[in-house]
Structures are given as structure tokens and as C-alpha cells.
A and B are shown apart, each in its own frame.
Chain A
């Protein structure tokens, strides 16, 4: 036992500031746990962020009142909330339609992105032929093609919005996932080679788990991007019962508080999608590094 104590001590020392490392120096080795920190603990950690949020809203409210800022410049938060509640049936109906466009685009773009990412690992020509193109395409503001997509389908169809969202989602997902699948530690590949493991085994036991953090960091970006894409596509015409048209119409009628209420709905949907990705990420890879420090301190 003295042996383990000694080494545990070394480990704890060498990774100072990392309280999850077993501190065997004290002789009593705690059971490893990656369970979330207690609720109170997490609330305390969230404290500064909540405080900052409240302060910003309060300052917004106070300053717009004090200086009598016109609502077409910046309506005060209380008015936005008032309009948000008063028009809730209309904006939530529009919001749902926009959400469906974004969600279909998100799922389609993600699915295609993952499939192509797998193809880049499986077939070298796909990788060499497609990756430079994909990386280039990823740096192009694809959203600019929104008005063109509208022309490809019937005027009120939600499909062009879904297509725009899907295209916007596709590239980050595909590039990140491919990177995660490909950029595996060469030592891990050699280890698998020493086991005479098949490509399928390597994919399943090394590449896919390795790609998950890459995949999820892409998902955090594209979840919000899909809503942006859907709304921007809506600005260029189509069905009226969508957030983009609602915001556009209200703004052109100078009913800015209503437009802001629409923006609030869009924001809430973005936060909801982002949160969904976060929760899924934790469920799928509870082992990941990025959760450790947050839960330990």
C-alpha cells in the first residue's frame, strides 16, 4: 500500500489545482465520482452571471426611462415583456413554424454532415477531394444564398428555409466531426494495430469516441445558427406566419416593441436548442475533460 500512497501523492502534486485527482497521501482513497456537484454549489457558481444579467436589464430599463429613449431606438425591457405577453399567441405560433424550419434544417444538416464526415475517413479520395472545398465553403457566408433558395420552391413553402438552415449547419458539423474522427493520437492507432484490430473496431472504439467532443462543439454553434438561418431566409419572403416575417412587418410598421418581442422568442428558442445540446453532451460523454473543473472546485 505504501507504494500506491507514494504514487498517488506524486500524482496529486503534479496535477495541482485538480481536486478530482486522488489524494492518496492522506491514506484514505475516496471513491472516484463524476457525479454533478450539489445544486447549491452550482447555484453559487451561477451567481455572478445572474447578477450581471439582472444589472444589465435594470440599467437598460433605468436608462431608457431616465433619458426617455424613443421606442424605435430602444424600447425598455418592461414594454417588450408587456408586448411579449400581449401577443403571445401570435408570436408563439410564428415561433413554432420558424422552430420547425430550423429543427428540420438542423437535423438534416447534421445527419448529412456526419455521413460525409464518416465517408472522409473511409475513402481517402473523398477526404482529399472534399475537405479543402468544405473548409473553403465553411468560411463563405452561406446565409447570403437565402434569397436564391426561396426562388427554388413555391412561394409559401417552408422547404427553402429548411434547406438554408441545413446548408448552414452542414459544413461546421462535417468539418468538425471529420477532424475528430481523423485526428486521433497515432499511438492509439498503433495500439489498435498491435491488437490486429479491424478498421471497424478502430472506428467504433477509438475514432467515434474521440470525435464526440468535436461533434458537440460544432453542435453548440450550429444549434443557434440554424435559427438564425431560418429567420434570415424568412426575411426574403414566403409564409407570413413565421418569426422573420413577424419581426420584419412589425419593424416596418414602427411597432418596435412587438418586433423586439419576436426577437425575444427567437432568443428563447436559440437558448433552448443550445441547452438541449449541452444536456445531450453530458449524457453522451460524462467523462469529458470540460466537465471536470466545473464540477470539482
Chain B
């Protein structure tokens, strides 16, 4: 038994069959410790989203072993061990903000739903917006609701697939700050897919650098930036150094 939240060994994923086969991931080994914030970064086609989906058991690996909280990924999903946030907020149009946050609680038969939802909306600073419909909110606010929904049933792991990718730069920076605060407050383990180098460096303990065709892990960089991370962090030399380090790791892997 390991106490790792995610442990992948020699994981591989092949899509399609025969001549149309595409090798999406090859020989992925990854360990994520409890409370850690890990980013997966790489160019499109490197399989970073596929790896996230494997962890969430939204797709099955072709070979290799993968455990989440010491269990097979499928069991972890069935046990509702993780919450997920996509690039699109995927809020249900016909539900108010509060009802969207309550959705997983309803499905999981968790009681005191309105209290939980209110608590979660306070966490993402949308306490006054519970009665609104998703289309009445800005893109950033919608993603906050999606985060509140993902955390509503207190999963130990939060999976995020380019959650801020569709936001404008300024909203994006605010959301990064918010996510850091929420991560500290909830002590949730986070696996975060992004294609933004500064975003990965600012948020993460470890940045997993991936390369495409086939997708594999080329480097894992520890950021070592002090907490709490704020505006000053964004202007620190160490931050720039780490960005450079990640950028160079990505460049080395680029095929000639």
C-alpha cells in the first residue's frame, strides 16, 4: 500500500486499431503525493488531457498500472474520490448556480445540500449568486461555480483540464490566485492540465513536462516557490528562472 494519491507505472494508451492506431501515451510513470499541486504541460498532442482522463477513469489505459488513493482508477471513480473541472464550465443551463453545485450531492445522496452549496459558493466568493442562472454569469464566474461543484462533495483529488484556457488574461490571473487560495483552504490534491508555462509554474509544486508523438514525460521540474504565492511571486527572480527552465525543457523535446 502506498499513500500516494496518484501512482502511474508504465502507463500506455493507444487509440484506434490497425492502420489507424495512434499511440497517445507511452511509458508514463507519475507519482502525486497528498496535498500536492501537479501540473501537466506540453504542446497539443502530448497526451496531457488523456493522462488526466486516465486518472479520472474517463478512458481506460491500454497497458500499465494506475492507482488513485491506492485503488484502481475505476474504483476511485466509483468511490467518488475526485472532482473534475473542464475547460468549459459544463454547468447545466436549466439549474441555478446553487442547484448546479448541488448536482453531485443529489446524485451521491449527500444531505444538507443547500448548506454545502452555500459554503462552497462562499469559498469561490459567489455567495450572492446562488439564485442566478449560469448564462447570467461571466466566464470567470462560471468557472468558479464549476470549481465549487467539483469540491462540493469534498473529494480528496481535484482534476482540472485547462480550466482557465477560455478566459481572458486578467480574469485568468485572478482565477489562478483564487485557485491557490482554495487549494490552501481545502488541502486538496490537484492535477492541473495547462499549456501556459507561467500558469504551471505559479500554481504547482511539480511541473510535469510532456512531449508529443507519442506522449511521454520528458521532465519533472520542482518549482520550489515559497507559499503563499501572490503578485510578488509573479515578479520574483525565482519565478522567472523556473519559467525559463520549463520553457527549455519543452524546447529540448521539440522534434527537429
Contacts and interface: CB of A to CB of B under 8 A. Distances in A.
Interface of A: 3-4, 6-8, 10-12, 14-15, 20-22, 29, 31-32, 34, 185, 187-188, 190-197, 201, 205-206, 209, 212, 285, 287-289, 292
Contact of B107 (A10, A195, A209, A287): A195
Nearest to A187: B90
A14 B92 contact: no
B141 A7 contact: yes
A7 B138 contact: yes
Interface residues of B, number: 39
B106 interface: yes
Contacts of B178: 3
A10 B167 CA distance: 10
Nearest to A190: B58
Contacts of A187: 86, 88, 90
Contacts of A7: 138, 140-141, 171, 174
Contact of A195 (B80, B133, B140): B80
The 7 closest A-B pairs by CB, nearest first: A11-B138, A32-B132, A7-B140, A187-B90, A287-B94, A209-B94, A196-B78
Contacts of A12: 138
A2 to B, nearest CB: 10
Given A187-B86, A195-B107, A196-B78, A285 B141 contact: no
Contact of A196 (B77, B88, B132): B77
A192 B103 CA distance: 9
A194 B83 contact: yes
Interface of B: 56, 58, 77-80, 82-84, 86, 88, 90, 92-95, 103-104, 106-108, 125-126, 128, 131-133, 135-141, 168, 170-171, 174, 178
B90 A194 contact: no
A212 B93 CA distance: 12
A4 B125 contact: yes
Given A12-B138, A292-B135, 11 more contacts: A10-B168, A21-B135, A22-B136, A32-B132, A32-B136, A185-B90, A193-B77, A201-B107, A209-B94, A287-B94, A287-B95
A131 to B, nearest CB: 25
Contacts of B139: 10-11, 14
Given A32-B131, A194-B84, A196-B77, A209 B92 contact: yes
A195 B94 CA distance: 19
Contacts of A209: 92, 94
B107 A194 contact: no
Nearest to A4: B125
A70 B149 CA distance: 70
Given A194-B56, A292-B135, A10 B171 contact: yes
Contact of B138 (A14, A188, A196, A206): A14
B36 to A, nearest CB: 20
A187 B90 CA distance: 7
B95 to A, nearest CB: 8
Given A32-B133, A187-B86, A206 B92 contact: yes
